[in-house]
Amino acid sequence: MSTSIFLTGATGIGPDPAVESYIGGSVLAQLLEHRLVKTFEITVLVRSPDKGELLRSMGLKTLFGSNSDHELLITAASAADVVFACADADDLGAATAILAGLKKRFELVGKKSILIHTVSHIYLGCVLSTESHGMYATDTVYSDLDIPLIETLGIKQPHREVDTTLVSADADGKFVDTYIVLPSTIYGRATGVLVDRGIQKPFSDQIPTLVRTSLSRSQAGVIGEGNNLWPNVEIHEVASLFVLIFDLALAQDGGITVPAEFQHGRSGFYFGANGEHKLLDISRKIAQVMHGMGLGTADPTTFTAEEMARYFPGATSLSTNSRCRADRSKAIGWDPVKTTSDMLSSIEEEVKAFAN
């Protein structure tokens, strides 16, 4: 029996293609190594003919378009058992189109679909955070098992309108089970066939943003005092969380018993985090690496108001607090092993990569 999969964001189709292909590409790479891959029929949304050709050479189907092509999304979703939505997490129109396609599928074949939606990692802080301008840490720590606390987040918070729309569709109880994954600061060089072929970007956004701005001023920088806190997770380990949810959803659909904590809809939130760091720790590591390269001092300096306006003209997650525990994710069997020390160790490679 085959499983039809539709995936967005593997090559970058939203407002920040590098970020989206980093996450979606890593999920796709793990699906291609899945033990049941021969039973998968995978269709990927792309907007680059060159990348589409490369994906087709790997035995994948492609659709040319973007999240703005709502009729295309409806058509693709209407043929899918499972949708991985790894593109723009704030695109309500795209989310609504995918839901419409899944509802159409139910009306045609009477089968409920699975939707695994990601909130891009750089936005976890926007959803769960408080602004501190890098001056202090906060005490509130969200757990993905504490749904009432998550539901205190206002509808005006980034992503909440899309999240609540997905939850409401699930509550309909008929055509879709929704699962929402919220990664944190994702780090590490992505590897695999998609990176090797130039389809997927190898690096994330949050730490590289701080690296690039530091290199631009020839001195590692920090916002405020860097006392704000963020969770972190390694790229391949967070991709494995997506695949675990996929596996459990298919197992549950097949009547196999799954952990009690494995829920969808209102309780279907899964945090991707396995460590916590001060932003100052990242800036210090960048400073040490740059100093070893003959750039700046071994300690970061605070960005001036002028630099903040130049490098961060809008809001930046680098000045906020975002604290969470991946209790539900780990309760269902996710077992990440890399921690904050691994995150800090990975920074040297990123500094040297962006310096060249």
- Identify the pLDDT of residue 12: 58
The pLDDT confidence band at residue 296, using thresholds 50, 70 and 90, is very high
On the question of pLDDT at 330 being above 70, the answer is yes
On the question of pLDDT at 316 being above 90, the answer is no
The pLDDT confidence band at residue 120, using thresholds 50, 70 and 90, is low
* Segment of 14-23, 194-203, 289-298, 316-325 carrying the highest mean pLDDT: 289-298
- Report the pLDDT averaged over residues 271-300: 97
DSSP E strands: which ranges in the chain?
Answer: 3-8, 40-46, 61-64, 82-85, 113-118, 130-131, 142-143, 176-183, 185-187, 221-222, 229-234, 269-272, 276-278, 301-302, 320-321, 324-325
On the question of pLDDT at 127 being above 70, the answer is no
- Identify the pLDDT of residue 129: 63
25-79-43 Cα angle (round to 5): 25
Half-sphere exposure of 132 (CA within 13 A, CB side): 23
- Report the pLDDT averaged over residues 48-73: 94
On the question of pLDDT at 14 being above 60, the answer is no
The pLDDT confidence band at residue 93, using thresholds 50, 70 and 90, is very high
Reported residue count of the chain is 356
pTM for the model stands at 0.94
Q: H helices then E strands: how many in the chain? A: 14, 16
- Report the pLDDT averaged over residues 166-192: 94
On the question of pLDDT at 122 being above 60, the answer is no
- Identify the pLDDT of residue 18: 43
